[in-house]
A and B are shown apart, each in its own frame.
Chain A
Amino acid sequence: MFENFPLWPARASTTAGQVDALYIFLVALSAVMSITIFTMILYFAARYRRRQGVAAEQIEGSTPLEVTWSVFPLVIFMVIFAWGMVIYFHERTPPQDATEVYVVAKQWMWKLQHEEGQREINQLHVPVGRDIKLIMTSQDVIHSFFVPAFRLKQDVLPGRYTTLWFRATKPGTYHLFCSQYCGTQHSGMVGQIVVMEPAQYQAWLAGGIAGAPLAETGAGLFQQLGCSTCHRSDTQGRGPNLVGVFGKKVLLEDGRTVVADEDYIRESILAPTAKIVSGFKPIMPVFQGLVSEEQLNALVAYVKSLGQAAPGARPGIPAAVQPAQPKVQ
C-alpha cells in the first residue's frame, strides 16, 4: 500500500489473506464503534455544557436500552468469534500429505532439517504452492516460530513437539522471528524464510550438501542404538513391531488407547515406561539424555516412514534394514 509506511507485512501464504480480511473487518468495526461513541461524547459535551440557569435533567436509566447495548455487541462478538474460529481451525489442521520439516530451536538459533536431508541454520527454503508442515521442538527454553508474512506463529517447547503448517504463495525472502522471550540474544534469534519457484527450489535441493534423507539417518540410528534387536518387523520381537504403527491407535497395558503421533514416539524413546503397549513388558532402556533432538527427529521420521512405506516393505525382510523411501511430491 504505502511504500515507506506500510500498514501490514507482505502477504505470502494462503493464511495471510484470510487473516488480513478479518483484521480489516475488525479495524473497520472498531472505527465505527469508537467514532460513534466519541461523537456522542463530544456532542453531549458541547450540547449540554454548563450554562447559567440550565439544570441537568435527571434520568434514572432504561432497561430496554441496557438490554440493547448488551445483546447487540454480544451478537457482533459472536460473529467475530466464529470467523476467527474458522481461520484458527484451518491454520491449525495440517493437511495429511504436507512435506515435513523438522525444526530444533535453541538459544539463539533455528536449526532446520528437510526430509531430504538438507540442514539449514536460521534459514528455511521452501517452494511456492506446496504444503509444508513444521515439526518443532526446543533444546532449552520456550521459543516461538513467527513469520509475519505468513501471519503465523507457534511456540516451540522443550520436551514435546508442536506443529505449524503453511503454503507459501509468493516468492521472496521473509522475516523469521523468535517471538517468545528466550534470554540475552532473543532479538538476534532471527532468520529468513526463502520462498522459491518450484524449479528453483529443486535446483537448490540438488545443489546443497545433501546429507542422507532424514528417515535414512533414522534407520541407521535404529540399528546403531540396538532398537532393531527388539522392535522386529515380525511378531517375535520383545518390543512392538513398528511397521505401520504411525498414526494408528495403540492399546496400552493399562487399557487406555493413544494415537501413535510424533509426541508419542518421542516419549516412548525418551521415557519408554510412560505408556507400555498392551502385551509387552517395561524392559526398554531410557534414552533421555542419550539422543540429541536431531537424532530424535531422525528416529521419529524413520518410524513414520515405516508407517507410510508399508507397501514397499517386502515381507520376510525386517523393515528396519530397508532404506526408507523419502516422500517426494
Chain B
Amino acid sequence: MATATLTQERENYLNQSYGIKSWLLTTDHKRIALLYLVSITFFFFIGGFFALLIRLELLTPAGDLVLADTYNKLFSMHGQVMIFFFLIPSIPAVLGNFLVPLMIGAKDLAFPRINLLSWYLYIIAGLTYIHCMLTGGVDTGWTFYTPFSTAFSNTKVIEAGLAIFVAGFSSILTGLNFVVTIHRMRAPGMTWTRLPLFIWAHYATSIIQLLGTPVLAVTLVLVVLERALHLGIFDPARGGDPLLFQHLFWFYSHPAVYIMILPAMGVVTEIVPCFSRKRIFGYKFVAMSSIAIAVFGFLVWAHHMFVAGISLYSALIFSMLSYMVAVPSAIKVFNWTATMYKGSISFSTPMLYAFGFIGLFTMGGLTGLFLACLGIDPHVHDTYFVIAHFHYIMVGGAVMGYLGGMHFWWPKISGRMYPEGWGRLAALIVFVGFNLTFFPQFVLGYLGMPRRYWDYSHSPEFQVLNVLSTAGASVLGVGYVLPMVYFLWSMRYGKPASDNPWNAAGLEWQTTSPPPTFNFEETPMVNFEAYDYEHIPEPEVAVER
C-alpha cells in the first residue's frame, strides 16, 4: 500500500498539469490517446443506439416502428459511424497512440503536433457528421453506391461524404506518424526482431492507412462532384460507369477491414503470451503474416463484386487471391493456439477477451471462405450471411480485441485496477450476447433474407431468427455498458495499480503507472527479445479467486 500511495503522488502525464487548455493543446501522445478514447466512445454509443433501433424494428416482420426512410438512414448511419468514427480509429488512435512510443522506448511519436492535428481533424469530421445526422441524415448505406448516392438519394450525401473525407485525413496522419516513429524512434537495441508484435501489427495497419485512404478520399470527392456539379463519372445516364465507383470504393474499403482487425490481432498477440507466461510461438511468422495481410489485402477488393457484373475471369482471379489472404490469418490463429501449449495459463479478463477473439475471429474467417467462393457467394451476397460474417470479424474480432486491450493496459493508462470480477462477467456477457445476436444471421442469410430490409412481412419465416438476434443484441448492449461504467468507477475508486500488475514483458511496463509525460526517466536500453517471459517472475496475486 505504501508503494501504491507513492505511485499516486509521483508526477505523471495525468497530474502534470490541469485545466481544459492543458488537454486541448497537449502534444503528449498519451493525452491525445485519451482525447480519442472519449471521442470514439461517444460515437460508439451513437452507433450502438442506431443498432438498437434496427434490431427493434426487425423484431416483427412488418415495418412498424420507424418509417422506411428512417430505417434506411439508421443502417446507413450505423455503418458509417461505427466504421469511420469508431472502428478505424479505435485501437490505433487510442491504444496505438498510447503504446507505440512506450513499447519502443520513445518519448513521444515522431510528430506530436501532427498527432494533435489528426485528433482535431477527427473532431471536425465528427462534428460535421453530427450536423449531418441532426439535419436529416444520410440514406445511402455506408457504401455510397452510385448512381443512387449521386443522382437519386435526397438526403445529405455531400455532407456525410465530406465528413468521412476529413476523417480519412485524420487516419492518414496517424498512419504516417506511426510509420515514421517505428522507423526512427526505437530505443537503442530495439531491433526489428525485438519489436513487440503489437508494433508490427500497427506498422502493417499504417501502411494500409497511408496507401488506401487517399483512394477513398478521391472516390468521395468524385461522388460529391458528380452530385453537386452533375459531372458524368459514375452515373450511366450521364455517361459514367457505376462499377468504376465500386472498384474504387472497395479498393479502400476491403483493406479497411484489415485496418480494423490487424491492430486487434496485435493486442491478442500481446495478451496471449503474457497470460500463458510464454514467448510467442513463431515470432517471425506472426510478424510477417501481418505484412502479408496488408499486402494481399490490396489485391482482393473485387470479391465484393462477384454478382455486380464483372467478367468471369476477373472474378476467378479475385476469388483465388482472396483465399491467399486467408492463409496468413490462419497462421496467426495457429500460432496463438500453439503459444498456449505448455504454458501457465490464467484467466484474467484480458485473456478471456483473447479467447473470445480467437473463437469469433476463427468463425468470421471460416465464413469468409464461403464468401470468397464463387459457388456460394452469388447466393449469400447482400444477405444477412454477409452481415453476420463481417460482424464476426469487426465486432467479434476488432471490438473484442479493443476491449481486451483496454483491460490489459487500463492499469497503465489510468494507474488504477478495474474490478476483476465485473471484468470477467462483462467479457462473458459480451461473448454470449454476441453469438446470440449474430449466429442466427448466418442461417437467416442462407435462407435468403436480403440485408437492408425494413419490412419482411412477405417472408414471415424469417421472424424466429430475427427475434433471437434482437434478444442477443440486448444482452450485448449490457455487456458493452458494463465496462464503461466500471472503468469510470475505477478512476476514482479502483485499487491503485503497480507499475507492472501482470508481470508482463514489454517496455511499457517498465515505466510507472501512469507513465510520466516523457514516458521514461532515462532512455531504456534493450538487450532482450520481446516476450522474454522466461526471465520474468510470475505475478503472485495477478488473479484473485
Using CB atoms and an 8 Å cutoff, list the residues of chain B in contact with chain A: 63, 68-69, 72, 139, 141, 145, 147-148, 151-153, 236-237, 242-243, 276-279, 281-285, 306-309, 312, 315-316, 319-320, 323-324, 326-327, 330-331, 333-335, 337-338, 340-347, 355, 358-359, 362-363, 366-367, 369-370, 372-379, 381-383, 443, 446-448, 450-456, 458-459, 461, 464, 533-534, 538, 543
Which A residues are in CB contact (< 8 Å) with B327?
A: 70, 73-74, 77
- Which B residues touch A7, using CB under 8 A? 443, 446-447
Q: Is the CB of A153 within 8 A of B382?
A: yes
A residues less than 8 Å from B276 (CB atoms) = 48, 56
Q: Which listed residue (A44, A66, A186) contacts B282, Cβ 8 A?
A: A66
Are the CB atoms of B344 and A180 closer together than 8 Å? no
Q: Which among B139, B358, B455 is the interface contact of A187 at CB below 8 angstroms?
A: B455
CB distance from A44 to the nearest CB of B (A): 4
**Most chain B beta-carbon contacts within 10 A, residue among A18, A61, A62, A91:** A61
- Is A203 on the interface with B (CB-CB < 8 A)? no
The answer to whether B373 touches A5 (Cβ under 8 A) is no
**Chain B CB within 8 A of A290 CB:** no
Say how far A238's CB is from chain B's closest CB, in angstroms: 26
Taking A7-B447, A142-B148, A179-B383 as known contacts, 19 extra A-B pairs with beta carbons closer than 8 A to each other, sorted by chain A number, are A6-B447, A19-B375, A22-B376, A30-B369, A41-B337, A44-B337, A45-B347, A48-B340, A60-B281, A65-B282, A73-B330, A85-B319, A87-B375, A88-B312, A152-B379, A157-B242, A177-B448, A186-B453, A187-B453
User: Using Cβ atoms and an 8 Å threshold, which residues of chain B touch A38?
Assistant: 359, 362
Whether, in the assembled complex, A209 has its beta carbon less than 8 Å from a beta carbon of chain B, the answer is no
Lowest 9 A-B CB distances belong to which pairs? Answer: A148-B448, A159-B236, A84-B375, A88-B374, A87-B375, A61-B282, A84-B373, A187-B453, A77-B323
Q: Judging by beta carbons under 8 Å apart, are B376 and A186 in contact?
A: no
A199 at the interface (CB under 8 A from B): no
Name the contact of A91 in the complex, choosing from B145, B378, B459 (C-beta under 8 A): B378
Known: A6-B447, A66-B282, A146-B448. A55 touches B538 (CB 8 A): yes
Report chain B residues within 8 Å CB of A204: none
Given known pairs A81-B320, A187-B63, the reply for A158 and B147 (CB within 8 Å) is: yes
- In the assembled complex, which residues on chain A have CB atoms less than 8 Å from the CB atom of B381? 153, 179
Are the CB atoms of A41 and B340 closer together than 8 Å?
yes
Contact among A9, A26, A48, A54 for B370, CB-based, below 8 A: A26
Chain A positions within 8 Å of B359 at CB level = 34, 38, 41
| CB-based nearest A residue for B278 | A56
Contact assessment for A9 and B447 in the assembled complex, using a CB-CB cutoff below 8 Å: yes
Q: Are A84 and B319 in contact (CB under 8 A)?
A: yes
CB < 8 Å A-B pair total: 269
Using CB atoms and an 8 Å cutoff, list the residues of chain A in contact with chain B.
4-9, 18-19, 22-23, 26, 30, 33-34, 37-38, 40-41, 44-45, 48-51, 54-62, 65-66, 69-70, 73-74, 77-78, 80-81, 83-89, 91-92, 107, 140-142, 144, 146, 148-149, 151-155, 157-160, 162, 175, 177-188, 190
Q: Which residues from A are CB-within-8-Å of B335?
A: 61, 66
- Give the complex CA separation of A7 and B236 in angstroms: 39
Which residues of A have CB within 8 Å of B453? 186-187
Q: How far is the CA of A20 from the CA of B52 in the complex (A)?
A: 33
Which of A4, A151, A177, A186 has the most chain B CB atoms inside 10 A of its CB?
A186
Name the residue in B237, B309, B319, B454 with the highest tally of chain A Cβ atoms < 10 Å from its Cβ. Answer: B309
Establish whether residues A187 and B334, one from each chain, have CB atoms under 8 Å apart when the complex forms. no
Q: How distant is the Cα of A226 from the Cα of B376 in the complex, in angstroms?
A: 47
Partner of A37, one of B362, B455, B533: B362
Q: What is the CA–CA distance of A178 and B453 in the complex, to the nearest angstrom?
A: 10
Chain A residues whose C-beta falls within 8 Å of the C-beta of B372 in the assembled complex: 81
Known A70-B331, A151-B379, A188-B455; contact A183-B538, beta-carbon cutoff 8 A = no
- Which single residue of chain A is at the shortest CB-CB distance from B359? A38
Chain A neighbourhood of B534, CB < 8 A: 58
**Alpha-carbon gap, A194 to B86, bound state (A):** 45
Q: How far is the CA of A85 from the CA of B330 in the complex (A)?
A: 22
Residue on B with the closest CB to A5? B464
Distance to closest chain B CB from A270 (angstroms) = 10
By a CB distance below 8 angstroms, the chain B residues around A49 are 344-347
Q: Give CA–CA (A78, B381) in the complex, Å.
A: 21
Known: A56-B278, A77-B323, A162-B309. A69 touches B450 (CB 8 A): no
**B140 to chain A: closest residue by CB:** A181
CB distance from A173 to the nearest CB of B (A): 11
Partner of A183, one of B148, B277, B338: B148
Cα separation A96 to B421 with both chains bound (whole Å): 68
Residues of chain A contacted by B340 (CB below 8 angstroms): 41, 44-45, 48
Check A187–B141 contact: CB distance below 8 A.
no
Nearest Cβ in chain A — how far from B372, in angstroms?
A: 8
Q: How far is the CB of B318 from chain A (nearest CB, A)?
A: 11
* Chain A residues with CB under 8 A of B284: 61
Residues of B within 8 A of A87 (CB): 374-375
Residues of B contacting A181 in the complex (Cβ-Cβ under 8 angstroms): 72, 141, 145, 148, 451-452
| Cβ–Cβ < 8 Å partners of A41 in chain B | 337, 340, 355, 358-359
**Which residues on B sit within 8 Å (CB–CB) of A78?**
320, 323
Nearest CB of A to B119, in Å: 33
User: How far does the alpha carbon of A6 sit from the alpha carbon of B465 in the complex, in Å?
Assistant: 10
- Tell me the bound Cα distance from A144 to B383 in angstroms: 12
- Residues from chain A with Cβ under 8 Å of B366 in the complex: 30, 33-34
B309/A80 in contact, CB under 8 A: no
Q: Are A59 and B344 in contact (CB under 8 A)?
A: no
Q: Quick one: given A48-B340, A50-B344, A56-B276, are A148 and B447 in contact (CB under 8 Å)? A: yes
10 pairs, CB–CB < 8 Å, chain A vs chain B: A30-B369, A48-B341, A58-B533, A66-B282, A77-B326, A83-B375, A141-B148, A151-B378, A158-B242, A177-B448
Chain A residues near B376 (CB-CB < 8 A): 19, 22-23, 26, 84
- The CA-CA distance from A74 to B331 in the complex, in Å, is 11
Query: Are B282 and A62 in contact, with the CB atoms below 8 A?
Result: yes
Contact present for A85 and B344 (CB under 8 Å): no
User: Which residue in B320, B342, B374, B450 is a CB contact (below 8 Å) of A178?
Assistant: B450
Q: How far is the CA of A58 from the CA of B273 in the complex (A)?
A: 10
Docked Cα-Cα span, A18 to B153, in Å, equals 39
A147 CB to closest chain B CB, in angstroms?
A: 8
Compute how far the CA of A34 lies from the CA of B379 in the bound complex, rounded to whole angstroms: 23
CA distance A4 to B151 in the complex (A): 42
Distance, CA A62 to CA B339, complexed state (A): 11
Contacts of A182 in B (CB 8 A): 148
Say whether A50 contacts B543, CB under 8 Å. yes
CA A83 to CA B374, docked complex, whole Å:
8
A184 touches B72 (CB 8 A): yes
- A155 — nearest CB in chain B belongs to which residue? B308
A90 to B236, CA, bound (A): 29
Task: Please state if B277 and A187 are interface contacts (CB–CB under 8 Å).
Answer: no
Closest to B354 in A: A41
Question: With the chains together, A160 CA to B331 CA distance in Å?
Answer: 43
A149–B379 alpha-carbon span in the complex (Å): 9
- Contact indicator A45/B309 (Cβ below 8 Å): no
Task: Report chain A residues within 8 Å CB of B341.
Answer: 44, 48, 59
Q: Say yes or no: A155 contacts B309, CB within 8 Å.
A: yes
B307 to chain A, nearest CB (A): 5
Chain B's closest residue to A178 (CB) is B450
Among B326, B335, B378, find the residue whose CB has the most chain A CB atoms closer than 10 A.
B378
> Considering the chains assembled together, what is the distance between the CA atoms of A151 and B307 in angstroms?
12
Q: Which of A85, A160, A180 contacts B236, CB < 8 Å?
A: A160
**Contact: B461 with A6, CB < 8 Å?**
yes
A187 to B449, CA, bound (A): 10
